[in-house]
Amino acid sequence: MSTIIGFSLGVHDAGVSLIQGGEIKAAYSEERFSNHKNKGHIINKSLDMLIKDFKLDLDTVDHFVTSTPLLPNEENIILKKYHNKIQFYPHQYCHGLGALIFSGFHAKNNVMVLTLDGGDHNIYNLLYGEYIDKKVLNWLNDTMKDHWWGKFKNIHNASDGSISVYNSGNLELIKEFNSNLGKLYFFGATMMIYYYNVTGTNVEGKLMGLAAQGKYNEHIYRTFRNMCLFNKDTESFEDQLPNECKTDNWNHGRILDSIMLSLFQHSKEDVAYNLQKYVEDTCVNLIQFYQEKYKCKYICLSGGFFTNVKVNQVINERMDFDEVFVMPAMNDEGIALGAALSKCVELGEYNFDKPIDNVYLGKEYSSDNIRRFVKTRFMNYHPFSYQHIINELKNGKVVGIFRGRAEFGPRALGNRSILVDPSDKDTFTRLNAKLHRNDIMSFAPVIMSEYVDQILDCKKSKHTAEYMTICYNVKQEWINKIPAVINKFDNTCRPQILRRETNEWLHTLLSKYNDLTGLPLLLNTSFNGHCYPIINSPLQAWEALRDKLVDVLVLDNYIVYYDYRK
Ligand SMILES: [Fe+2]
């Protein structure tokens, strides 16, 4: 059995993963170790930590695997020393295979796998940031031919999406395409920043939040339609823009100003609403076309586009699939794992009998390590106690959690989370202020799986909701009980459905909280400050407590407070 290291080395969301003996051992995102949100280009810190934690000798690693985009980096040990052992898998395939395996649908047939992202996996575009004509490309090839990374020069993969169908153990690629759907959303986010002064990180998320507050407008909707239209006859995406505005050039800032100006007469909420509606409608059209053609009953979604939990909700509710699954690490950090899984499956080593039921694949600190840290840093500490935590939550306190292994992917699922009572309507404003965030989307709940049907209109696709990847409508009788975790504009929420087997201590906490309050859920948001990645060390947790992001901190088997009198 092989040791496989997968890595992702693009302009954003770099990371590494490790598969040994057919099992996923770890997946680390570079941002968590560099403390730089969405860090791309290098994997030095995450790789160093992987080597240390798993006592790896890189000389004995059997396979290094990745996908485009790949940026040259003189300091990267894999690129420098092991480049002859590197194998590439297509970018969209890595997204798709990862989703298929995490979904568990590989035991079924008639599975559609749809990937969509921002595209631009052509390394030359990434290197130089703008369109390069043939002459320049030839010059580059010539210049780079003796360089150590010159061997990668023909790795091009400019698609931003793919449709595959899985049957009888075979994942068949039907179509790769350039949809520009991801770029269209990016265009909307850019407009929010430059025209409407929306600030902070994750502007795409804010755009999605604003969409719930807008209304339909034909002019805006048609404008987006003209930029990106699925043509069923040619099975491709087209635009109706003049030549100088062709979508190949969308990234390069010299177009689209006139479009933005024409939209700017409308409110940002209406722009957001119509953009969101357009991408939802287009996804439905695209999927419906291939669903009818290939008679698919299940669908897996992956790629950064599917961070859009409202699109995922529409696919789940409007389309006739038995079940929808969204890859938990749907963006490019998931490529590190998708590439390693691709190799493992190709070798016939992947253990399909062991279903994946969590993403606790990140960094872990030993209990001894944390005990020493607590005893040197804190004077005010207490042993772990459910009742103690529940009392704090009931008193409206903001509780930071640092226990077990970190989650892989963009969501905190209980081990690097902030938990708060969900029943106070003022929590949204209070928590945003405390965390120095300006989020527009509502906070999300973690709900005991046993109670989900009582609270949510959630007939199918519950498995994917274990990873907070999809929205559901909240049942009328719960809307006033849990306002802190509901989008008040459309009465939806984006839950983490928690089964006991997945995270036993958190499930026990919810159960005891329910016994006392009648609420089998808590608000769960990621444990990080504004514009920073989710915390990744006890020291960062201590800093968050010191800076009053949280009122109380659960650090492994301790409950700690900051002593400001020191
Ligand atoms: Fe991607």
Give pLDDT tens digits for 317-354: 999 999 999 999 999 999 999 999 999 999 999 988 88
CB-CB contact of 235 with 163 (8 Å): no
CA of 442 to the centre of ligand 1 (A): 26
CA of 302 to the centre of ligand 1 (A): 8
476 burial class (0-12, 13-18, 19+ CB within 10 angstroms)? exposed
Mean pLDDT score, 505-523: 98
- Work out the angle between the directed axes of helices 268-294 and 218-227 (0-180°, nearest 10): 50
CA of 334 to the centre of ligand 1 (A): 8
Q: What is the pLDDT of residues 243-292, one digit of tens each?
A: 555 545 555 445 567 788 889 999 999 999 999 999 999 999 999 999 99
What is the pLDDT, as a whole number, of residue 329? 97
pLDDT above 90: percentage of residues in the chain: 68
CA of 244 to the centre of ligand 1 (A): 26
CB-CB contact of 310 with 204 (8 Å): no
Q: What are the Cα distances from residue 490, in Å, to 213, 276, 386?
A: 8, 14, 34
> Cα 497 from chain centroid?
17
Instruction: Check whether 73 has a pLDDT greater than 70.
Output: no
Q: What is the pLDDT of residues 485-503, one digit of tens each?
A: 999 999 999 999 999 999 9
- For residues 134 and 388, the model is more confident at 388
Q: What is the largest CA-CA distance in the chain?
A: 72
CA of 331 to the centre of ligand 1 (A): 6
Instruction: Check whether 131 has a pLDDT greater than 50.
Output: no
Dihedral over alpha carbons 138, 140, 143, 147 (to 10 degrees): -130
CA of 92 to the centre of ligand 1 (A): 7
Instruction: Check whether 157 has a pLDDT greater than 60.
Output: no
CA of 39 to the centre of ligand 1 (A): 14
| Report field, pTM of the whole predicted structure over 0.95 | no
Residue 551, beta-bridge partner list: none
CB-CB contact of 217 with 270 (8 Å): yes
Mean pLDDT of the chain: 89
Distance CA 542, CA 380 (A): 12
CA of 91 to the centre of ligand 1 (A): 6
∠ CA 529-532-533, rounded to 5°: 110
Instruction: Check whether 123 has a pLDDT greater than 80.
Output: no
CA of 332 to the centre of ligand 1 (A): 5
Q: What are phi and psi of 306, to 5 degrees?
A: -90, 15
CA of 156 to the centre of ligand 1 (A): 14
What is the pLDDT, as a whole number, of residue 448? 98
CA of 120 to the centre of ligand 1 (A): 9
CA of 503 to the centre of ligand 1 (A): 29
Q: What are the Cα distances from residue 270, in Å, to 17, 79, 267, 276, 465?
A: 41, 47, 5, 10, 28
What is the pLDDT, as a whole number, of residue 156? 47
What SS3 state is found at 67?
A: coil
CA of 251 to the centre of ligand 1 (A): 16
CA of 507 to the centre of ligand 1 (A): 33
Q: What is the pLDDT of residues 407-451, one digit of tens each?
A: 999 999 999 999 999 999 999 999 999 998 888 889 999 999 999
Delineate the domains of the chain, giving CATH numbers in brackets.
367-560 (3.90.870.20)
List, in sequence order, every beta strand (DSSP E) within 1-106: 3-8, 15-20, 23-29, 63-66, 86-88
**155 confidence band (pLDDT: 50, 70, 90):** very low
CA of 305 to the centre of ligand 1 (A): 9
CA of 301 to the centre of ligand 1 (A): 12
> Cα 54 from chain centroid?
25
What SS3 state is found at 556?
A: coil
Q: Integer distance in angstroms from the first to the last C-alpha of the chain?
A: 54
CA of 436 to the centre of ligand 1 (A): 29
**39 confidence band (pLDDT: 50, 70, 90):** confident
Residues 6+ apart with CB under 8 A from 329: 27, 98, 337, 359, 408, 409, 410
CA of 67 to the centre of ligand 1 (A): 9
Nearest to 545 by CA among 414, 418, 391: 418
What is the pLDDT, as a whole number, of residue 139? 53
Q: Is the dihedral of CA 292, 293, 294, 298 positive or negative?
A: negative
DSSP label of 431: H
What is the pLDDT, as a whole number, of residue 200? 79
CA of 303 to the centre of ligand 1 (A): 5
What is the DSSP secondary-structure string of 434-482?
HTT----SPPEEEEEGGGHHHHEE--S-TTGGGGT---EEEPHHHHTT-
Q: How many Cα atoms sit within 13 Å of 203 on the Cβ side?
A: 18
Instruction: Check whether 23 has a pLDDT greater than 70.
Output: yes
Instruction: Check whether 147 has a pLDDT greater than 60.
Output: no
Q: What is the pLDDT of residues 375-393, one digit of tens each?
A: 988 878 999 999 999 999 9
What is the pLDDT, as a whole number, of residue 143? 55
CB-CB contact of 119 with 180 (8 Å): yes
DSSP label of 342: H
**145 confidence band (pLDDT: 50, 70, 90):** low
